[in-house]
A and B are shown apart, each in its own frame.
Chain A
Amino acid sequence: MFRPTAMAVATALAFNVPLAARAQSSSDLEDVRRQIQDLKDAYESRINSLEKRLKNAEESARSAPTNASQPATEAPAAQAENLPQKQSTPNAFNPAISLILNGTYGNFKQDPTQYGITGFQPPGATSPGDRSFSLGESELFITANVDHMFMGALNLSLQGDAVSVEEAYFQTLSLGHGFTLKGGRFFSGIGYQNSVHAHAWDFVDPSLVQRAFLGDNYGDDGVQLSWVAPLPLYVEVGGELGRGRSLAGTAVDGELAGNDRNKNGVGAGTIFLHVGDDVGASNSYRVGLSHLRTSTGTNAFPLADFDSVTGVTNTFSNAQVKIYGADFVWKWAPEGNYQYQNFKFVAEWFQIHRDGDLTFDTTGPAITGAFDQRQAGWYVQGAYQFHPYWRVGLRYDQLQKGSIDAGINSANIAAPDYTPKRYSAMLDWNPSEFSRIRVQYNEDKSQQFLTDHQIFLQYIYSLGTHGAHKF
């Protein structure tokens, strides 16, 4: 509206000035006036026609699909055909991307770099965190359907200055009959918390038993097949075959360098069973049983959990490692409405069984003999959302030293007589589904004689695609 008028005036002036300069006589002036009038008329009619076109365009846009301009009683069946068509753009098929930002402030009474769990050998990072401010694990999720048969997902973890591929897998969409096949690198389906990404945990840190036997999240390179039974009751059975990339319960750093076993075939396997249902509108539960087994082959692995006791270096070889797990999750919300109040209870129990050859004091006499060890651990935790934005949670962790049969090395090897424990309390504030600020306190008795008081402040922000979370 403004633009054509301004242009008309500008154009008229542009023509007017040189014409006026040449206009000497009154007839010339008449001429000029007429020309100007003609110009005005011409532009006015053009402006009018433009205004008319604009009005028409606005009207047709309005009459298209919004309900607002329809008579309230209009038969609408035919309307469906006039729905707006989406414009296609080159990035229309870009995958869904979401980004998690996470950082903590930690305060530890004991030195976190000296952290350990007395009598246990965690496969993953053993640190409970860092003192002072630290950037936590940022996570990048990229996912999309590949075609009508498969979907693909990538999850990168950026911690400190290191990037690692936490998960990168394909998953079938069309096997049908309840079957789903997953392949690549993924978090194992054993237990409950194991397949939950760190940003979705109810506490800053994983359970002690998870840390002691599986690391933060146990994942492998391999395939997973799962089947959901055709029943109203939820029954899922699944199994995984993998390389044994991270050797649960044995390796020092959670990860062997490359395919360290250099072995064809399968290095690790799991099976799991999940059953779940609703109880009324307010309650839902899931129970699970799982089993993992892996073997070291002829490679020898350090057994650091005895080094501190024996004062020498020991190794473990020809080993079978088996883990048995049971888990239970229960969620409650009044009439199933999670907005104002809800409660989530989780309990898990794991037992680990190591069976193989122990070489005592590798740099000394190097006595090799049969070795058989069983250890267990469990936790219970509850998180209660008492207000739309606030949750409070409590957790108790305990590990059990279990039994050792070290054969001819029995005189040399003994497990420390200690039961590691931890008490945790947390409070978090969630101003939206996309942000969480949390404070947590742990009384951590993982190490004999060294009770640690840990305080965490944590933020977790979720950007981009709205993620869907598992139960």
Chain B
Amino acid sequence: MKTLLFRWLLPSILIYTFASPAMAALEIFACEPEWGALVNEMAGSRAKVFVATTAMQNPHLVQARPSLISHARLADLIIYSGAELEVGYLPVIVQQSGNDKIQVGKTGNLDASKYVPLIEVPTILDRSQGDVHPMGNPHIHYDPRNMIRVGAELRRRLTEIDPAGATEYEQRYQAFSQRMQEAITKWVQEAAPLKGVAVIENHKEISYLFNWLGMPVTGSLEPKPGVEPTAGHLAELVANQKMRPARMIVPASNRDPKPAQWLSQQIKIPVVAVPLTVGGSGGAKDLFSLYDDAIRTLLAGLKS
């Protein structure tokens, strides 16, 4: 115990307390992988990113793990989807961190949902409708135009926190937004055959992609947001297929594949799983490859 204390714990505390300003790298806490990827685009080596969740996890059900408190404690900035996606753990983390820089309202607290237009804002606010988010659908990352919007705000925040890097942040933002804009033009052309292609989703976590590409959603495997698929509801989807036929079932890759497979056998349309976010498939390594991967997967699904 004593050796642990003196050989390791105390020196590390001293290093972190006194040496970190000299090392200059900003500590950024990103709740979801897409925001970690965006920070990498916007700040490069000026920031060290800690990503709280992976593409394999359901972002609604994250635990307030001790490691999240310690990394929030170190953070100069936290970036999260917002619109209550992280309501089950983030308020506790921010409160327990004892870090004044990341409290709500501070420059170091970036709620991405505040900078993009939200879709699917519920008109009825009642939990009988499932786990609805009062401000709208919080899975904003699947519309690449939102990355440019949030990127602009991130650049502003980074510049305020780390003025020495202002030029670099500006250059990176300009380069990123231009590259993203070009990619968007390319994606929209590539995805032209997907326009009007009806799909069945699992949860409303890919809505922004469908909305962007103009793909109507005829139904969800979940009877209500956050409620697991039921036999009765799946039977309804089978019946619905006759009236409003969908071309494919598109769940996120972290979801239980069984309900989608069952429905697929019943109504004879393919299951086309797309990554939930960066890291959700072998191809989705950063933001660009995420949208690339998703669009290619959907196009391939259209042919099958």
Contact = CB atoms under 8 A, between A and B. Distances in A.
B115 interface: yes
Contacts of A307: none
Contacts of B17: 230
Interface of A: 65-68, 70, 72-77, 79-80, 83, 145, 148, 151, 171, 173-180, 226-236, 274-278, 281, 284-286, 331, 335-340, 388-389, 431-434, 466-471
Given A228-B73, A232-B70, A471-B63, A73 B143 contact: no
Contacts of A178: 73, 97-99
16 contacts: A65-B117, A67-B117, A67-B143, A72-B184, A73-B181, A74-B145, A228-B96, A231-B12, A231-B16, A235-B9, A337-B58, A432-B127, A432-B130, A433-B88, A467-B88, A468-B87
B161 interface: no
B236 interface: no
B119 A77 contact: no
B70 A233 contact: yes
Contacts of B181: 73, 75
Interface stretch (B147-155, B164-172, B242-250, B262-270): B147-155
Interface of B: 9, 12-13, 16-17, 20, 53-54, 56-58, 61-67, 69-71, 73-74, 84, 87-92, 95-101, 103-105, 114-117, 119, 127, 130-131, 143, 145-146, 148-149, 152-153, 177, 181, 184-185, 188, 208, 211-214, 226-228, 254, 256
Q: Which 7 A-B pairs have the closest CB atoms?
A: A276-B66, A234-B66, A176-B100, A65-B117, A234-B70, A178-B98, A174-B100
Given A175-B100, A466-B87, 16 more contacts: A148-B103, A178-B98, A228-B97, A228-B99, A229-B73, A234-B66, A234-B69, A235-B70, A337-B56, A337-B57, A340-B256, A432-B226, A433-B131, A433-B226, A468-B91, A469-B92
A74 B226 CA distance: 32
A180 B64 contact: no
B98 A77 contact: no
Nearest to A281: B54
A123 B103 CA distance: 38
Contact of A230 (B16, B143, B145, B184): B16
B56 A72 contact: no
A179 B98 contact: yes
Which one of B70, B89, B119, B145 has the highest number of Cβ atoms from chain A below 10 Å of its Cβ? B70
B70 A151 contact: no
B97 A67 contact: no
A67 B211 contact: yes
Given A432-B226, A469-B88, A227 B98 contact: yes
Contacts of A340: 256
Contacts of A174: 100, 103
Contacts of A68: 119, 211
A176 B98 contact: yes
A277 B67 CA distance: 5
